[in-house]
Chain A
Amino acid sequence: MERSKRFDLLAKRDINKETYVEPWSEAGLIVADSPYDPQPSIKIAAGCVLEMDGRSRADFDALDIFIASQALDLEIAQEAMALPSKEYARMLADINVPRADIARLIAGCTPAKLTEIVRHMNVLEMMMGLAKMRIRRTPANQAHVTNWREHPALLAADAAEAALRGFAEVETTVRVARFAPFNALAILVGTQTGRGGVLTQCSVEEALGLRLAMKGLTSYAETLSVYGTEKTFVDGDDTPWSKAFLASAYASRGVKIRFTSGTGSEALMGRAEQKSMLYLEARCLLVVKGAGSQGVQNGSISCIALPEALPGGVRAVLAENLLASMLGLEVAAGNDALASHSSIRKTAKLMLQFIPGADFIFSGYSAIPKRDNLFGGGNFDAEDFDDYNVLQRDMQIDGGLRPITEAEALSIRRKGARAIQAVYRELGLPAISDEEIDAATVAHGSDDMPARDIVPDLEAADAFMAGGDDFVAVIRALQKTGFANVADNILEMGRQRIAADYLQPSAIFDADFKVQSAINDGNDYLGPGSGYRPEGRRWREMQAIPQAKSPEGFVDPHIGQPLSRLVEVGPAAVGTTREVVLALGPAFGCALATTIGGFDHEDVLEAILGGVAAEGMIARIVRVYHSSDCAAIGYVGARLSGSGIGIGLQSRGTAVIHQKDLAPLNNLELFPQSPSLTLQTYQAIGRNAARYAMGVPTVPVAVEIDNGARLRLIVKTALLHRRETDEVCPERPPQELRFDWEPES
């Protein structure tokens, strides 16, 4: 078969490294509408659910029983189920309907009903719904901080930087489970160095996670996984009751919890029971709510590639975020695991949560390089920090991050690493050397770190886990070693644990270490003029990326001494001989001294005049005052020229060859990409103008096409043009100039 060069190129694109599959309902490979999904129904008698979604009580599985008894508000269920699903969908998209009105009714909706509601919605409507139904008014973000070396100094440094960058939560995990207490300790110390009040967790097996929390090493846990079918749930070695008990156990120790669900897990575990991913997720979410979890991490999480392999998958992931928020759950909205090879696709998907805002837009932005991510690769990584900050600045959308300078990063990383070094020393853990601190300060990832002797580290971790030291010992160690403010921050986390305010829905701590949750920062979005929008201090902070320069900085390098060799001699007259007239912009060689490409104006003049002279032609120079427009300048040159040929030259270097009989905006040759013009080009322009003046056949000057030039230089172009326009004198006629120059013989 013939091979298309274009298809060959397309085949190599990142988007074609992905897997795509056609839906197959029988295997659960269907995102939102399996023909086997049940129809919504409910029958209630004497405070008991007799039928739900077409299934009678006798056929209920454990999830149905749990949902019917723990999650559904039976007082409202009849009314809620009677309202048409499309009506709910319209209310969700309608800015005039407050979230509380919808939430009241949603409390009585069954899984099939919830699924049917969101099936009516396109992604734009779902985004409107999420903007309104998200329970916390202020959006936030969570970071993942891990490294494959499990190096404590690097973990602490990265956690400190993540905290400084604005993440409200930082999650770590382990490669070797025995490292759990040390990894939890490192990110606790690191985050509280960067900013007091960042919540931290270490994702490990449930019982181990609870032990870490009991030691005060973590302040939240989110890996309480739930599944949408009974068999998957049991394969996950839990029941809704055991998970609910675990939730209470955590809360009893003052630890925030969030469950984890997400589309695709049941299909991945081979037990989807022919149901759509979204219907199973609706069941998960009702289990989450029934268990009394304040929130959920969903958005497909580690299974994301599965819905993304199917049509409508990304829409379904947004739908599950929306469903959770409708149920009054805090939503950590996914965007964590590597979802695509394609930058276009992963960014497009992110917009569905980024634009409406979520309690946590990422349930783990990888604040480390992908290679160091022990959660299965980040969808956005440390390499994307600047991109992310620019997205916030572009759209005036608060994605929960702030730009920081290199100096700030280095300083906080060193402090975080030194703090964990001090804690290790005080607690008698294997020493962290100054060389390791230096490396962690400047490191991007594990590859930049020296290896540690893992055996004594693991032995120390085992002993620490088994021993009596907890976060009180950590606070004391920091106090003794001069890290008083880090100690104070961890102590305040302890006081907050006693007050337990952050167990309320969607709680984080703000920049002033004040709790911010759905209770005191409830979402009040009702369309334009309401809800959260970044303003004032926060918007200024988002704008202030270190890459942004002052406007003056663009023009200053182009200001220099006026050319002493270029002297004005009087009003310019129309020539009578065969000549080329070189017409200059009003700032050329006086207010401005170099082109955008960095060439001195006098070198440019010499190049053009040299080109004219090389063809045996003479040139006159005039300055145009009434306009700064390139075509207008060139047209004046042409009309003053005895041959009718003129060259227009702006101060920034843009040039045109004009002819007096052409329309003003027409031309013989135009050189709009001034940054690409070299002195050789200017000489060729002079040569061609001379040849036009002589009336001999002329090949247009070849110019390199650089489509990126406009992108890079448009601000400078605009500001240099503005500077030239400042010199315009509308009434002043063109002036003859003398340039002290002789062609080389």
Chain B
Amino acid sequence: MKEALSEYPLRDSASASLLTHSGRSLSDITAESIAAGALTGDDLRTHADTLRRQAKIARAGGYPQLAANLLRAAELTDVPNEELLKIYELLRPERASYDELARLADYLEETYGARENAAFIRDAATIYRERSLLRR
């Protein structure tokens, strides 16, 4: 597991293999391609695989909770901005019913393969019910 640490920082060790969220190679992200108008914001976003590699590094470095967060984040890279904001809003206190949260978890799992997030939201739903944090 410790060998993950020797990869760090990926910017130096793995530049050639890193992809952007849009699937370009990091080496395509140049001043010239920006100037030519060939790139958009999506080309300057991180790829899920990169976050998974960072999760491995965090775990090897002794930061398991951060690693878990980065794995959840990896699953969210494909979730559109507006959806992310909506999910966050639903998770705030007294915004959603138990069923709404359960459906949200299913949706994330089915649509984006977001198993970690789905499990996390299902946990939340159970505890929100226990602690009266669901919509009244």
Contact = CB atoms under 8 A, between A and B. Distances in A.
A345 interface: no
A498 B123 contact: no
A384 to B, nearest CB: 34
B44 A497 contact: yes
A620 B13 CA distance: 83
A504 B56 CA distance: 11
Interface stretch (A289-297, A355-363, A444-452, A642-650): A289-297
Interface string B4-37: 0100111110110010110000100101001101
Contacts of B64: 73
Contact of A292 (B44, B70, B88): B70
Contacts of A251: 51, 69-70, 72-73, 76
B46 interface: yes
B46 A497 contact: yes
Contacts of A484: 31
Interface in B41-75: 41, 43-47, 50-51, 54, 57-58, 61-70, 72-75
B61 A519 contact: yes
A497 B46 CA distance: 6
A211 B69 contact: no
B45 A519 contact: no
A9 interface: no
Nearest to A246: B88
A230 B128 CA distance: 12
For the residues of A in contact with B, the DSSP-based class is helix
A155 B19 CA distance: 34
A253 interface: yes
Contact of B37 (A289, A476, A497, A500): A476
A476 B94 CA distance: 43
B44 A291 contact: no
B9 A520 contact: yes
B120 A65 contact: no
B81 A248 contact: no
A200 B40 CA distance: 21
Contacts of A289: 65
A494 B133 contact: no
Contacts of A480: 35
Question: Interface size for chain A: under 10, 10 to 19, 20 to 34, or 35 or more residues?
Answer: 35 or more
A470 B61 contact: no
A476 B34 CA distance: 6
Contacts of B35: 476, 479-480
A103 B64 CA distance: 13
A18 interface: no
A246 B117 CA distance: 12
Nearest to A515: B9
Interface string A71-110: 1010000000000000000000000000010010000000
B89 interface: yes
A514 B11 CA distance: 9
B131 A249 contact: no
B62 A100 contact: yes
A292 B72 contact: yes
A214 B80 CA distance: 10
Given A210-B88, A234-B93, A498-B46, A252 B79 contact: yes
Given A479-B35, A498-B45, A241 B9 contact: no
A206 B88 contact: yes
A216 interface: yes
For the residues of B in contact with A, the DSSP-based class is helix
Interface string A472-492: 100110011000100110010
Nearest to B92: A242
A518 interface: yes
Contacts of A65: 127, 130-131
Interface string A241-281: 11011111111111000000000000000000000000000
Contacts of B50: 498-500
B61 A518 contact: yes
Interface string A208-241: 0011001110000000000000100010011101
A612 B89 CA distance: 92
A151 to B, nearest CB: 27
A475 B34 contact: yes
A280 to B, nearest CB: 18
Interface residues of B, number: 67
A71 B65 contact: yes
A496 interface: yes
B11 A515 contact: yes
A73 B69 CA distance: 16
A100 B2 CA distance: 15
A498 B61 contact: no
A195 B11 CA distance: 19
Nearest to B128: A239
Interface in A25-78: 61-62, 65-66, 69-71, 73
B2 to A, nearest CB: 11
Contact of A248 (B5, B15, B117): B117
Contact of A519 (B41, B51, B57): B57
Nearest to B48: A252
A522 B123 CA distance: 34
Q: Which of B14, B34, B51 has its CB near the most chain A CB atoms (within 10 A)?
A: B34
A700 B18 CA distance: 85
Contacts of B66: 292-294, 503-505
A248 B76 contact: yes
Nearest to B24: A498
A505 B8 CA distance: 12
B39 interface: yes
A207 interface: yes
A611 interface: no
A497 B133 CA distance: 35
Contacts of A495: 11, 26, 29, 44
A372 B66 CA distance: 36
A253 B46 CA distance: 7
Given A251-B70, A252-B84, A476-B35, A500 B93 contact: no
Given A292-B66, A472-B39, A494 B29 contact: yes
A471 interface: yes
A61 B131 contact: yes
Contact of A291 (B39, B69, B81, B85): B69
Contacts of A470: 41
B65 A290 contact: yes
B108 to A, nearest CB: 11
A245 B120 contact: yes
B47 A498 contact: yes
Contacts of B65: 70-71, 289-292
B102 interface: no
A216 B41 contact: yes
A496 B85 CA distance: 24
A386 interface: no
A230 B131 contact: yes
A358 B76 CA distance: 32
Minimum-distance CB pairs A-B, first 9? A292-B69, A251-B73, A252-B76, A242-B91, A241-B124, A494-B44, A499-B11, A501-B9, A248-B72
8 contacts: A248-B72, A249-B76, A250-B73, A252-B79, A488-B31, A498-B18, A498-B44, A504-B57
Given A292-B72, A294-B63, A499-B14, 16 more contacts: A70-B65, A73-B64, A207-B85, A234-B94, A234-B133, A239-B92, A241-B128, A245-B87, A245-B91, A245-B121, A253-B45, A292-B67, A471-B41, A487-B31, A497-B46, A499-B10
Interface of A: 61-62, 65-66, 69-71, 73, 100, 103, 206-207, 210-211, 214-216, 230, 234, 237-239, 241-242, 244-254, 289-294, 328, 470-472, 475-476, 479-480, 484, 487-488, 491, 494-501, 503-505, 514-515, 518-520, 522
